[in-house]
Amino acid sequence: MIARGKAMQAEAPSKESDELLASRGLTIRSKLLLFTTGIGFLILAALAITAFFLSAIALRKARLDGFQSLRTSLSQAINALFAEQRRDVTAQAELQTVRYAVTELSSGYEHLVEDLDASGFKVDPTFLSGVRQSLRSAYQHGPMQDLRSLGEPVADFDEFSDLGPAAAILQFVYILKNPANPGFKFQKNSVLDISKNESLPPDFRNAFSKTMFARAMDRYHGLFETVVRRNSYFDLMLIDDLGNVVYTYEKSWDFGTNVFKGWRARSELKKVFMGAWYGTTLSGDRTSEDDVVITDLKRYPGAYGSPMLFLSCPINNRLGGRLGVVVHKIASSTFTDLVTFQGRWAAVGLGETGEAYIVGPDMRLRTESRFVKEMPPKMKSISFEPDGAPGPLTMVLGGPLHNKAVENIYSDQVLSNDGEVTFFDDIGRESLGVYEPLGTAGLDWGLVITISADEAFAPAVHLTRLIAFGGFVILIVAILAALTFGHLLSRPIVQLVNTAERIGSGDLSARAPISSKDEIGFLAERFNYMIDQVEERNQHVHKILETVNECLFLMGPDFIIQPGYSKITEAIFQRKIDGISFLDLLRPAPQSGLQPVVTDQILVATQHYLELLLNPRIKEKLIQQTNPLGEIEYKELRPNGAQPSKFLEFRFNRVVEGGKTTQIMVTVLDSTSRIALTRQITENESKAKSQIEMLFGIMHLDPPILAEFLNHAKSEVTVMLDLLEAEQFGSHAGESSAHRSERYLRLLQKISRSIHLIKGNAAMLRLSYFEDLANRLEEKIAMVRGDAALSGEQFLPITTGLASLLDQIGMTYDLITRLLSMQKVFGKDAGEGGVTDFAPLVELAEEIAQRNGKQVRVEVQMKDGLARLPNPLREPIQMMITQLVRNAVLHGIETPSERLAERKHPIGEIQIHAYRLNENARKIILVVRDDGRGINYQLLRRRAVQLGYASVNSIEAWTQQQLDNLLFETGFTTMDRPTTDGGRGVGLDAVRDLIAKMGGVLHVSSKQGQFCEFRLEIPVA
């Protein structure tokens, strides 16, 4: 067991226990790793998230703060622009020069045809229709087409072309025939230019140059040019009291027209004229202190549909009468330039995705978007170059915007229409923005400043990434540290586990190394201490198991024998038995020198018995007696081929733990010697019995008969031994083998006869011991006789047998001698002894009676201190009484059936009385009386004649005394055949001789069928 444990230890490297630990998910290393990683990730995540949110909040605040100030400044700039415009237009309206200009231009406009006529050019219908014709074709390829493409409701071409003669002539001169490039028609407006313009008919241009309008235009255009240029106006217009547009700097298609006619009647131009003229706008939003009227930015047919904003102010004379209206036309680019900072967004903190824009109440942009390209195409609209050619797509007055910032400005659902918001803009970006209504008088505009969240929070994302990366690096370092630390921490534990594994596999010498002074070190120390204790205890158990002289082992509920059994176990079973099933101990084992002799029935019974033992409901003690393995035989296979039997006794006891039978303890006793002893005792008993029988036989035989038997037997055996000795074994010269066989056979027959005679005599005398001896010898002889070819050696066992018989005869002689000597020794002291001398007689009588099929009861009455006979008389008296009792049983008492027939009790009665006649007479009287058949004198007479004591005639004359005396004659017997007990005619003669020798008298009295009594009178010296 120990050796096995060591072997296991060698096979148990630390790797296994590592795997064991790993399989249970128990390594400290991995736990630490998991812990560190987990905590690390948590911290990292928390840190990153916190950093992100904190920085995002800070960034948002910073960004919005920036936006707020940007908004303020933008809003101020826009309002300043309008304030300046208002101031300018008001100032211009009040200029004396402007009053003159509008008066002169209006007058010139009114009298243009007349002036031409006066200057020598007759405006006839042919000329006029020619002018109109050329204008018509210009319109068709210009404003008409553009407006249609914009979806403007252009109902009638005539609205453009149906111009009055003055309007048609002015547009013909200043726009259509003006040699300046489209968009630059404000050039070449002077009289000189017109008179040199060769595309005009010479007479016409001469006449036109002299008109009042041409001269007024020549005079004031320069002045207005200075004003427009200086203030970067898009256009400056003068409208006279009749609604005629008598001056435009720009010379676009509204020049010379009347605001109440054609498409102008629906345009903002009419509104702005009317508003100024009547001191109010049609929309009623005139709120300012001055007389300036503003209209919102709207597509203006007069500028090929480009969005225009109008400001107007009435021109009054000194008395306050209206002379006309001055109108400023402002293009959207003016505002776009303002809020886009001429494209330098980044410089104002709008980065890559930020922008500022202005919206109107229709949610449409009033300024160009920075992301016009990214905008959905359906939200964009066409723009036009100054010459009417299609320009790039634009967001100005494009589709309405749908974002939270814009909606909040115009919503009445919110508390405040300005504020900050995170929202999704119209190209789907999450954005951060501020918004506010601009509050410009006459315009319900709003300002939005926005930037994408991505960009706004990019630093936060960047910071988070930085933290995550840095944290990750730190985490890796922490994991490595945890691994190292975990290894340091778990190593002693792994060592401890390894030690525990080794101990578990049986090596109790294993100890955990104590590598540290911390708790684990302490644990290892305590662990070692514990193992010390266990080892010590184990050694105790081991010593017990080594020493105990009983086979002792445990088996589990599966009947598998467990390691750790007493040392003697292997010696008994001659093999290792741990790990095998208990039932295998009862089955033949190929390698074992011990083979069980067990029937299948016992095997099955054993299995059932063990199952019962495991059944908790069954009381162990109550089934102990059903143990089928009380005496199991095994054959021990010796090398010399012998197979002596070995007997084993199995005992079973439950091992109960926690109320449950967990094991069965088996004790096995080698009961071979006990059984051998039992057998020997039985044998000895029978031997002793036979010796006692011999002794008994001897004791119950008449000494002379025994002597005769012994002498006869001795002489027979001696003769035979002599014969055997004398026989020349081996071949005689010239003798054939058949001869020799015959010679041997004759000898054998001789011996056989002798032995048979001895056997017969022994049987007759009931010397069963000798009978047995003789019988065995006879069997030996019979075996030899059965052999066809006799050889000398075959006589050897016969010789030995004969010698042993002779020995027994000698021993019997010795025994008798010893008995005699004992009698001499004990005879002296017997008087003082306590046992009656006649007690053995009772037994003897009963035995003889039994042998002869009779039943007797002996009654002994010893009076006068005769229970103990005086010593010199004792021996002869005993002999005599014995003989008389024997005689009474054999000859007196009838068989029970005979007695019953005689109406007597089936048990015969023999009375022995001893008493002193009287004190003085000094005589002892001994009476032996039986209630048997009495003396049959008829039989006596017949027998006497038979044996030749008397003749038939003479016997009748014999007296009773004479006949009685016959009883005491040697060789006289009434029995036909001798038996063990008598019938040989020896016995009563001895009594007669003895009584005579002692000087006593013998009386016989009897009554036939009733009794017979012998009375001895013995004188005491």
Partner 1 sequence: MKLLIVDDSSVVRRAIERDLESGEITEVDQAATGEDAVRLYGAKLHDVVTLDITMPGMDGLTCLDKIIEINPEARVLIISALRDKATAIDAIKRGASGFLCKPINPSELKEAFDLLIED
CB of 616 to partner 1, least distance (A): 12
CB of 608 to partner 1, least distance (A): 5
According to CB under 8 A, which residues from 362 to 381 bind partner 1?
none
Where would I find the beta strands (DSSP E) of 803-904?
856-862
CB of 625 to partner 1, least distance (A): 5
- Only one of the segments 153-161, 209-217, 618-626, 734-742 lies at the binding site for partner 1 (rule: CB under 8 A); that segment is 618-626
- Whichever of 416 and 601 has its CB closer to partner 1, that residue is 601
Exactly one of 382, 623, 723, 806 binds partner 1 (CB under 8 A); that residue is 623
Exactly one of 196, 462, 587, 608 binds partner 1 (CB under 8 A); that residue is 608
CB of 890 to partner 1, least distance (A): 39
CB of 807 to partner 1, least distance (A): 42
- Only one of the segments 62-70, 197-205, 364-372, 605-613 lies at the binding site for partner 1 (rule: CB under 8 A); that segment is 605-613
Residues 397 and 298 sit within 8 Å (Cβ to Cβ) = yes
CB of 666 to partner 1, least distance (A): 16
- Farthest-apart Cα atoms in the chain, separation: 243
- Whichever of 229 and 660 has its CB closer to partner 1, that residue is 660
CB of 627 to partner 1, least distance (A): 7
x/- track of binding to partner 1 for residues 764-803 (CB under 8 A): ----------------------------------------
CB of 624 to partner 1, least distance (A): 8
- Structure tokens given for 835: 């046992």
Cβ-based neighbours of 77, under 8 Å, separated by 6 or more: 338
- Whichever of 181 and 599 has its CB closer to partner 1, that residue is 599
* Sign of the Cα pseudo-torsion (297, 301, 306, 312, in order): negative
Q: Report how many residues bind partner 1 under the rule CB under 8 A.
A: 17
Helix (H) or strand (E) run with residue 771 in it: helix 768-786
CA distance 333 to 337: 6
CB of 612 to partner 1, least distance (A): 5
- Only one of the segments 123-131, 219-227, 242-250, 621-629 lies at the binding site for partner 1 (rule: CB under 8 A); that segment is 621-629
- Structure tokens given for 579: 């790990």
Q: Does 675 bind partner 1 (CB under 8 A)?
A: no
Q: Burial letters for 310-337: b for 16+ Cβ neighbours within 10 Å, e otherwise?
A: bbbbbbeeeeeeebbbbbbbbbbbbbbe
- Only one of the segments 52-60, 504-512, 619-627, 946-954 lies at the binding site for partner 1 (rule: CB under 8 A); that segment is 619-627
- Structure tokens given for 1010: 């009733």
Exactly one of 265, 604, 803, 921 binds partner 1 (CB under 8 A); that residue is 604
CA distance 324 to 245: 10
x/- track of binding to partner 1 for residues 625-654 (CB under 8 A): xxxx-x------------------------
Backbone angles phi, psi at 918, to 5 degrees: -160, 170
Q: Does 618 bind partner 1 (CB under 8 A)?
A: yes
Q: Does 723 bind partner 1 (CB under 8 A)?
A: no
3-state SS, residue 423: strand
Integer Rg of the chain from CA: 81
CA distance 985 to 969: 8
Strands 632-636 and 1011-1019: unpaired
Residue 732 is given by DSSP the state: P
Residues 716 and 757 sit within 8 Å (Cβ to Cβ) = yes
Residues 880 and 991 sit within 8 Å (Cβ to Cβ) = yes
- Whichever of 628 and 892 has its CB closer to partner 1, that residue is 628
Q: Considering only CA atoms, which of 799, 796, 791, 788 is closest in space to residue 731?
A: 791
Q: How many residues does the chain have?
A: 1021
Exactly one of 96, 232, 287, 601 binds partner 1 (CB under 8 A); that residue is 601
Q: Does 602 bind partner 1 (CB under 8 A)?
A: yes
Q: Does 96 bind partner 1 (CB under 8 A)?
A: no
* Sign of the Cα pseudo-torsion (819, 822, 824, 828, in order): negative
- Structure tokens given for 910: 């023999």
Residues 433 and 423 sit within 8 Å (Cβ to Cβ) = yes
- Whichever of 623 and 676 has its CB closer to partner 1, that residue is 623
- Whichever of 560 and 612 has its CB closer to partner 1, that residue is 612
Exactly one of 619, 903, 977, 997 binds partner 1 (CB under 8 A); that residue is 619
- Whichever of 462 and 660 has its CB closer to partner 1, that residue is 660
Exactly one of 318, 621, 903, 997 binds partner 1 (CB under 8 A); that residue is 621
| Phi-psi map region of 109: left, alpha, beta (phi>0 left; psi -120 to 50 alpha) | alpha
Q: Considering only CA atoms, which of 382, 379, 374, 385 is closest in space to residue 364?
A: 379
Question: DSSP string of 975-1006?
Answer: -SS--SSS-SS-SHHHHHHHHHHTT-EEEEEE
Q: Does 612 bind partner 1 (CB under 8 A)?
A: yes
Exactly one of 8, 461, 548, 605 binds partner 1 (CB under 8 A); that residue is 605
Return the amino acid letter for 553. Answer: F
- Only one of the segments 317-325, 344-352, 596-604, 979-987 lies at the binding site for partner 1 (rule: CB under 8 A); that segment is 596-604
Q: Does 609 bind partner 1 (CB under 8 A)?
A: yes
CB of 610 to partner 1, least distance (A): 10
Binding residues for partner 1, per CB under 8 A? 601-602, 604-605, 608-609, 612, 618-619, 621-623, 625-628, 630
